[in-house]
Chains A and B, each alone.
Chain A
Amino acid sequence: MTHLSRRSLIRTSVAIGGGLALGFHLPEASAASIPAGSQATTAASGTEINAWIVIDRDNTVTLRIPHTEMGQGGATSVALLIAEELNVDWAGIKTEFADANRHLRNNREYKVMSTHGSQLVRLQHPHLMGAGASARERLKQAAAAAWGVPRSAVEAKLGTLTAGDKSATYGEFAEAAARIRLDEEPAIQTDPAKWWLLGKGVQRLDIPQKVDGSAQYAIDTRVPGMVYAAVKACPVPGGTLVSFDPDAIRDRPGILRVIALRAAAVKRDRSKMPEGLRVLEMGSDMQDAVAVVAESWYQAKTALDRLPIRWDLGEGASTDTASCYAHGHRLMDQQGLVSGKADPLAADLIERSSRRVTSSFQRPFEAHARMEPINATVHVQPDRVDVWSPTQDQSSAVLLVADQLGRDPKTVFAHTMFLGGGFGGNGAGGTAVTRQAAELSRDMGKPVKVLWSREEDIAQGKQRPLLVARLSAAIGEEGLPTALFTRAAWFSIDGANQVGPVTADYGISTMPYRIPHRHHERHNAKTHVPSATHRAPGANQTGFVTEVFADEMALAGGWDPLEWRLKMTEGMADWQLVLRTLKEKSGFRTDLPKGEGMGVAVVECYGTIAAACATVNVSRRGRLTVDKVLMVMDAGRVINPHAGAEQCEGSVCWELSHAWLGGLDLEAGRFTNTNLDTYNLVRMHQNPLVETIFASSGGAKWGGLGEPAGPPTPPAVANAIYFATGRRLRSTPFRDHDLSWA
């Protein structure tokens, strides 16, 4: 066995400057378009009115998309928001991805490139619509000056400027407009009733190239001279590499190198990092790993499977799912951190109550398991570095690789690719593989594609934290709760902090229901399992807890669960709108014949209230069928109903997969169900019909739609199963429960 010398995988540096444009451009003949492949230069010719908008003399309008397209319709949303204000013919627009390097060079010119948190429309609309509005007014100003009329006399519509009998295209005034500075930037139109393009529903830009195999994902990257790497990290996260025996595979075909990749402590000189660019929190990102580099990935992977490796498994090896649960339930008897305001009366009232409800809940770790396994390609050359990564933030990929290699970011170019799913895992979760590819490319002197096998993808991806919770309530006079006391523990490598502001009881402590005395506590329990955000973080685990318990409280007080929710949110106009719509459209009832059931749930997430009504069928022997899920959504307004409904359908399927079939099994510190035969996801025959209704309250609300339909799905199904079978489910996956009835 070869013993290893310490090898640092993480280096420091960072200075910002220089850069180049990138994007791609293969116009569709007659429709709005986005290209299928990646290039490292911006193609749009014409005059740049601002960073988002380029207009050619022939009036071709190209919009630059600073965000990633991972299936959520994000590219289309960005283009719609700009086009609404710019007022151009939708069918004629072209798009290209924006340049991450320029963004960094120009002090975050695109404001935000990261695509996460259902926030693209929700939070980025002011500056995206603002870019369109500003360009439109400058075009009008340019025409007004030429024609000797006031700006207010010029109309800008569908790419044409008119005033009286004068008329010109935007293209004719683009150069003049680019030189104009407005005294005051125009306001954007936020009233959905006045929109001409938003809210109507358009075909997404990225559909054609996704039906003929031409859409380019990072995994499809092919660079001349490229070699392939398969990697394996310690099966118990956090374990360290002791030794391996490269001689055992030396004779296998195509092998170029067998090499150790060592995690190293992060040493960062923060003073060199410009303000606002501190996005590279490595912390627990890196694991020790062994890489096999070969002429093809299949050669690398099959050799790696045969490579003898010795690991020091570390402390994590003593834990499994059951021990996490046991520890979590012990924590339920211990005082935790208080969320919000403490209410010392809550526990007392529950103690003294004659009508008390107490329930314990548990849910396992879940994987992202994006259909595109984790991968990255990096090409390190003396004067430049190219990166192809399925990241949810191209700008952080540039900084990450610059950091890893000790290069100036102005020489690092990120190619924006389509993502084979994001779901929160391609932000922080994609960093390790990109560092591996950078380091291996430097070492090999060649472009290297690193691809994690599906088993590696699930075992080493960052997981959604395991959750244990206990809720107690006192039921008062009218059958309504008078006090609520909750504790929740959430297991991740550094407590909850790894997933940002999301804490163990996000969703529990923020439950909408008016209960006179509420007290919420949380524990951030440590494990060796790295965690990351996961579609609808926090609410994805806790929505099940709160909304199953809501049904329990309602039934304990003799209430119909839907009437109870209406009663408990009295005076909250948007919740009332959603719940009344659900009542009207769902035909919810609790008196169906045994074996059939309907269940409701409502959860707020990312500014959107999502209510679900699930209809299930359970055979006497316990076979579950989920027939239908009706979603009623209040995101305030909806800019593209087609894409919005699609996201709701996808979110329902996503959470149903985890609640019904999923659950990562942790045994002796390692995940044991790491491919799609054992980590089971909903398939077509299991997928319910999803109907989506938008009940938009308007006003100042701009909610997200990429994630919120997920969290209410599991509790709605569990509540429906209760009415069908009398069995109350307080843990997932449902497949572990006996659902038979007599």
Chain B
Amino acid sequence: MQLTLAINGRETRVDVDPETPMLWVLRDTIGLTGTKYGCGIARCGACTIHLDGQATKACQLPASAAVGRQITTIEGLSATRSHPVQKAWIEIGVPQCGYCQSGQIMSASALLAERKNPTDAEIEAAMADNLCRCGTYQRIRQAIHRAAEIAQS
């Protein structure tokens, strides 16, 4: 079925079964592989994207439900790694293997869009679904605080 999706500010036409999760539409149909598969059941956060600005797990979002809404993926967050969250991530050297980091960054950037200066408790609540097997959590927490500073400077 032909669907028109708004991805990273561009209209994109795809021909998929409307039930196909956006994760696979992005990765396999369109080729935006920055969004990752980790569990397929909304428990790891590796597939986090923004749907109308809200952090959303692409593995549980049918393509049909994304029609008419704005989708942002890690590739669309900024053109030059210049989003405050990306800057803070580089400055603090957050990633290890990096596989979870697209999802971490998309969750963190959605949080900061809503809360300019999130508390530790707010960070923990917003990031609770994002697993990192490499254990980069304390640097993620530090980098979110730093990103809040960068955004306001």
B31 touches A676 (CB 8 A): no
A215 touches B41 (CB 8 A): no
Residue in B29, B40, B125, B135 whose beta carbon sits within 8 Å of that of A654 in the complex: B135
A211 touches B33 (CB 8 A): no
Residues of chain A lying within 8 A (CB to CB) of residue B133? 369-371, 421, 423, 654, 681
CB distance from B58 to the nearest CB of A (A): 12
Residues of chain B lying within 8 A (CB to CB) of residue A421? 97, 99, 133-134
A684 touches B130 (CB 8 A): yes
Residue in A214, A419, A675, A689 whose beta carbon sits within 8 Å of that of B97 in the complex: A419
CB distance from B35 to the nearest CB of A (A): 7
Q: Does A207 contact B (CB under 8 A)?
A: yes
Residue in B20, B41, B97, B135 whose beta carbon sits within 8 Å of that of A651 in the complex: B135
Residues of chain A lying within 8 A (CB to CB) of residue B21? 298
A676 touches B96 (CB 8 A): no
Q: Which residue of A lies closest to B34 (CB)?
A: A213
A687 touches B138 (CB 8 A): yes
Known contacts: A213-B32, A421-B97. The answer to whether A677 contacts B124 by CB under 8 A is no
> Is chain B's interface secondary structure helix, strand, loop, or mixed overall?
loop
CB distance from A95 to the nearest CB of B (A): 16
How many residues of B are in contact with the other chain, CB < 8 A?
58
Q: Does A253 contact B (CB under 8 A)?
A: yes
Known contacts: A222-B31, A453-B40, A675-B39. The answer to whether A646 contacts B20 by CB under 8 A is no
Q: Does B102 contact A (CB under 8 A)?
A: yes
| Those of B1-52 within 8 Å (CB) of chain A | 17, 20-21, 24, 27-29, 31-41, 43-44, 46
The interface bits of chain A over 266-307 (1 if a CB of B lies within 8 angstroms of the residue's CB, else 0) are 000000000000000000000000000000111100000000
A312 to B99 Cα, complex, angstroms: 37
Known contacts: A454-B38, A651-B135, A684-B127. The answer to whether A371 contacts B33 by CB under 8 A is no
Residue in B20, B27, B40, B86 whose beta carbon sits within 8 Å of that of A211 in the complex: B86
Residue in B28, B96, B131, B136 whose beta carbon sits within 8 Å of that of A681 in the complex: B131
| Those of A398-428 within 8 Å (CB) of chain B | 418-423
A297 touches B90 (CB 8 A): no
Q: Which residue of B lies closest to A685 (CB)?
A: B124
A687 touches B137 (CB 8 A): yes
The interface bits of chain A over 636-679 (1 if a CB of B lies within 8 angstroms of the residue's CB, else 0) are 00000010001001111110000000000000000000011100
A420 to B131 Cα, complex, angstroms: 13
Q: Does B55 contact A (CB under 8 A)?
A: no
A187 to B89 Cα, complex, angstroms: 39
Q: Does A71 contact B (CB under 8 A)?
A: yes
A649 to B138 Cα, complex, angstroms: 8
List 21 interface pairs A-B (beta carbons < 8 Å), by A numbering: A71-B95, A71-B96, A209-B98, A210-B98, A212-B75, A212-B81, A213-B34, A296-B28, A297-B24, A297-B28, A371-B44, A372-B38, A419-B97, A420-B36, A420-B99, A421-B99, A454-B40, A677-B41, A683-B131, A684-B123, A687-B138
Name B residues whose Cβ lies closer than 8 Å to a Cβ of A.
17, 20-21, 24, 27-29, 31-41, 43-44, 46, 73-75, 77-78, 81, 86, 89-90, 93-102, 105, 123-125, 127-128, 130-141
